[in-house]
Amino acid sequence: MKPKKLKKGDTVGIIAPAGTPQREKLEKGVEFLREVGLKTKLGRHIYRKNGYLAGSDEERVEDLHSMFADSEVKAIFCARGGYGTARIAERIDYELIKKNPKIFWGYSDITFLHLAIQKRTGLVTFHGPMIASDYGSDEIDSLTKNSLKQLFEPNPLQYSTEQSPLETVVDGVAFGPLIGGNLTLITSTLGTSFEIDTNGKILLIEEINEEPRAIDRMFNQLSMAGKLEGAAGILLGDFHHCISESPASFELEEVLEHYIKRVNKPTLAGLKIGHCQPNLAVPLGVNAILDSRQQQLIVENGTLS
């Protein structure tokens, strides 16, 4: 189920399902959205502070529900990531989302909501730069800015070495729906009703600030759960600052290669998707072709005309 595309003059909602955004950064991000021709509406509780959360679980769910229910709002952007998004997954009215399919956009801790919404509704969502975290930066890479164009122009996307240097980890071609996001959040779905289904799919993985030993633990868990073996192919996005503070450690590349070479599925690394600049957006839930031989990824458009 694809949401409708955006057009200039549309109103978009901004919510904080995880942490509280910095006001200055959010205002900069809002200004960027206005510059591309969009009107904005902020969630009622977006600046609330409850420990590391933007308000209580009930308040954050209320903001999400209100944006899906509001007929004026044509897309929903997350202000930032952080922690605690998974706490609201079981409180969400997925029938409301089914009846009001809209663009839903974010990444990092928002990964849990991507997986939950797709599992319960089939709605295509978007792994993309967030309003305060990315569009609120002092300098925004042009490719990060241009990622938003896919919401206005529903054309297939193509990522290749033109955007960033890529590495073929395992040679081959894979076809299937694109799914995934942040490694920690993907792993946290295991054993829940929102557990990721990777069978026949292209699995996207990115991470930030986790040492190789933690990456090893999570990849091992995914492997033992059959999630790597079941995938048609694997995309390795950005692993930002995933370095060891101990000299007695494997390097990140050694850990990734251990698991990727063992499952022997077509794998491409180096995509600028995740906690990086540029941060390229991709729709999740649509079909994609991963060609690690030619070092390119082709992704079906995520919106309807």
Q: Provide the greatest CA pair distance for the chain.
A: 56
- Token pair belonging to 96: 């409301």
Contact 85, 59 (CB under 8 A): no
Phi, psi (degrees; rounded to nearest 5) at 185: -75, -35
The residue annotated as part of the active site, out of 108, 133, 188, 292, is 108
The residue annotated as part of the active site, out of 59, 62, 206, 300, is 206
CA distances from residue 178 to 3, 201, 302 in whole angstroms, order as listed: 16, 6, 11
Contact 96, 68 (CB under 8 A): yes
Euclidean distance between CA atoms 92 and 54, whole angstroms: 16
The question of whether 254 is a catalytic residue gets the answer: no
The upper half-sphere exposure of residue 152, i.e. CA atoms within 13 Å in the direction of its Cβ, equals: 14
What is the C-alpha radius of gyration for the chain, rounded to an integer number of angstroms?
A: 18
The question of whether 206 is a catalytic residue gets the answer: yes
The question of whether 108 is a catalytic residue gets the answer: yes
Contacts of residue 4, defined as CB under 8 A and 6 or more positions apart, other chains included, come to: 74, 101, 102, 303, 304
The residue annotated as part of the active site, out of 62, 188, 275, 300, is 275
- Positions marked catalytic: 108, 206, 275
